[in-house]
Amino acid sequence: MDAAPRNGSQNVKNSTSNIRGSISAMKLSEMRELLALEGIRLTRSLGQNFLHDANQLRRIIEAAELTTRDKVLEIGPGLGPLTAMLLERAGEILAIETDARLVELLRSRFAAQVAARSDAPRAERRAALRLLHDDALAYLKREPRDWRDWKLVANLPYSVASRILVELAQGERAPQRMVATLQLEVARRLMAKAGDQDYGVLTLLVQLDFEPAGWFRIPAGCFFPEPDVDSACVCLIRRPGLLLAPEHRLVFVKVVKRAFSQRRKMMLKLLKQDWPAQSLENAFATSGLSSTIRAEAVSLENFVQLAQLVGAGGGSSA
């Protein structure tokens, strides 16, 4: 992406560089001023709603329980209000932003932190920031890596928030904690339990490896520009051990997706589209599930058991 045209006199430039250089949380007036001075028109499709409420930013940071040894992945730093706070608490930050205009602005705003080296003498050390200009979802898929020592702390772009969480959450190399701000409706799905209206595919794909540890609502008025819906910050903590062995995971995903493909239908009937009836009936009997049950009433533990049984060729017929 090309950088946006710059405008203005010397005064304007001085004032811009002051705002760009500050690493404290930004006020709404500063955000507006900076965007105007840089000539940046926000792109709605990139979910560019920036969080300017210092109390909400502090709550997000508290939920992350950061220490100076922590490595943090931030997706979509935007103008950097969260990045600034992360830099005060964490040891290392990798921030991935898709908008080239914002990357340029962030490089200038956080120049000292981008230059910081983690091998500097202890007294001189400050949190190091690595800024990547990339599509975060494409990056995560293209460069799979071990995120076990990392925490995700991000106000996510809403259009890809669920896909990013599912991509990061899968399996043995997932981050230790994910503190994510996203639409309230998605937060409810992430926090849901069996029997809840919001319980579904997203709940199960994430909760297989993560336990919900709390959430709070963030009103639309805390963002600039105000989004059409309220948001929430969720905190998810990686389970201490795997609930399901790697070889059964594909079956788990397939069972869950098929089971919720028509919420109001009986799950056994739906699964019969993919697996032999006898094997499924045995698996349901072994798991103590009624043959008329619907997916929305089936717990995570039961889905795990079903995936193991179906993956192994069905339950015992006892």
| Residue ranges in contact with ligand SAM by CB under 6 A | 46-51, 75-78, 81-82, 96-99, 102, 135-137, 155, 157, 160
Q: Among residues 221, 246, 243, 216, which one has the least CA distance to residue 302?
A: 243
**Distance between CA atoms of residues 212 and 198, nearest Å:** 14
Q: Side chain identity at 71, as an amino acid letter?
A: K
By beta-carbon distance, which residue lies closest to ligand SAM?
76
DSSP string, 76-140: --TTSHHHHHHHHH-SEEEEEES-HHHHHHHHHHTHHHHH--TTS-GGG---EEEEEES-HHHHH
Closest CB to ligand SAM among 137 and 310? Answer: 137
User: In angstroms, what is the minimal distance from the CB of 86 to ligand SAM?
Assistant: 10
Distance of alpha carbon 48 from its chain centroid, rounded?
16
User: In angstroms, what is the minimal distance from the CB of 206 to ligand SAM?
Assistant: 19
User: In angstroms, what is the minimal distance from the CB of 97 to ligand SAM?
Assistant: 5
User: In angstroms, what is the minimal distance from the CB of 24 to ligand SAM?
Assistant: 14
Closest CB to ligand SAM among 80 and 314? Answer: 80
Closest CB to ligand SAM among 128 and 153? Answer: 153
Between the CA of residue 71 and those of 128, 165, 214, what are the distances in Å?
A: 10, 17, 21
Closest CB to ligand SAM among 64 and 244? Answer: 64
Taking a C-beta distance cutoff of 8 angstroms, is the pair 12, 68 a contact?
A: no
User: In angstroms, what is the minimal distance from the CB of 77 to ligand SAM?
Assistant: 5
Distance of alpha carbon 108 from its chain centroid, rounded?
26
Closest CB to ligand SAM among 98 and 305? Answer: 98
Closest CB to ligand SAM among 77 and 175? Answer: 77
User: In angstroms, what is the minimal distance from the CB of 287 to ligand SAM?
Assistant: 39
The angle formed by the CA atoms of residues 310, 315 and 318, to the nearest 5 degrees, is 170
